[in-house]
Amino acid sequence: MKHWIKQTICLLVASFVILSAAGCSKTYGDALAANAGTAEPRTEATAQAAATLAPQITASPVQVTESPTPDPGGYRLIGDDELREAVARNEYSSEEQKVMVGSALSLVDRVSYFWGGKSYAAGFDPDWGEPREVTSEGDSTTGQTLPYGLDCSGFICWCGAQLGRGVNWTRENIGEGTWHQWESSVEVDADELLPGDIAFLNAYPGAESNHIGIVVGFLENGEPIIAHCSSTENNIVVSTAGGVFNYFRRLAFLADNVS
């Protein structure tokens, strides 16, 4: 990740207080628990200390390999300057939105796509990049050994875990799969989108597969840009919606905090 991104993310999360790929199916198999981990409820002291999380993330980027599960086309990757300018324009209605966006940006270009990959680690998970067998069924990579990372819904789940409210709260209020994340959110009109809202490829019920990302800002023309764990790019990237993201929603616990 380029030098300015490291600086920007550090400043973002520090100022933010406390601190995605069609083919993400609604079930992920036994691999969901492989890296679930545990987390203690956040205390006032840890909440204050969490502002220094991003500067401590120093792990090297994982090896990038070709993904066997391509995203639909139509989106455009956002360059460094565009991303920096878009994030600088962000306005937030809650501290939780700030944390979700700052957390998403902290992993851009740093974690590869891994079918069924989940994490509740506080900060950069040391398991990312380590060789691991893909045990979740339903993908062409199943049974292969690849650098461990996240899938699209796992990325959203990890961002929520950075709120520090524990594994059980994160599972209940965000969910580990795209179906649960849809059910844990409410519809948002396009003109009411905020940073921290989530975006889906397909709508439930009816979809057999899906892809999800998180809105991290807007271009000058108002177009949302979305961070997502992409199997095509085999990385966490920021892009326009293109033909990948067609439905926008807000996690219910965030909707409760928006006036």
Residue 146 lies in a domain: yes
> DSSP of the chain, one letter per residue?
--HHHHHHHHHHHHHT-----TTB-S--GGGGGTT----PPPPHHHHHHGGGHHHH--PPPPPP---SSPPPS---BPPHHHHHHHHHT---SSHHHHHHHHHHHHTTTT--B-TT-----SSS-TTTTSEEE--SSSSTTTT-EEE--B-HHHHHHHHHHTT-S-HHHHHHHT-SSHHHHHHTEEE--GGG--TT-EEESS-TTT-SSB-EEEEEEE-TTS-EEEEEEETTTTEEEEEE-TTT--EEEEEHHHHTT--
Residue 59 lies in a domain: no
Residue 145 lies in a domain: yes
Looking at the structure of the chain, the number of domains it has is: 1
Separation between Cα atoms, residue 230 and residue 162, nearest integer Å: 21
Mean pLDDT over residues 4-18, rounded?
40
Residue 9 lies in a domain: yes
Residue 60 lies in a domain: no
pLDDT band at 259 (very low <50, low <70, confident <90, very high): low
pLDDT band at 30 (very low <50, low <70, confident <90, very high): very low
Which residue segment(s) compose the domain that 191 sits in?
3-53+66-255
**Tens of pLDDT along 107-150?**
999 999 999 999 999 999 999 999 999 999 999 999 999 999 99
Residue 108 lies in a domain: yes
CATH classification of the domain holding 139: 3.90.1720.10
Residue 58 lies in a domain: no
Q: How many CB atoms lie within 10 A of CB 135?
A: 15
Residue 208 lies in a domain: yes
State pTM to two decimals.
0.74
pLDDT above 50 for 252: yes
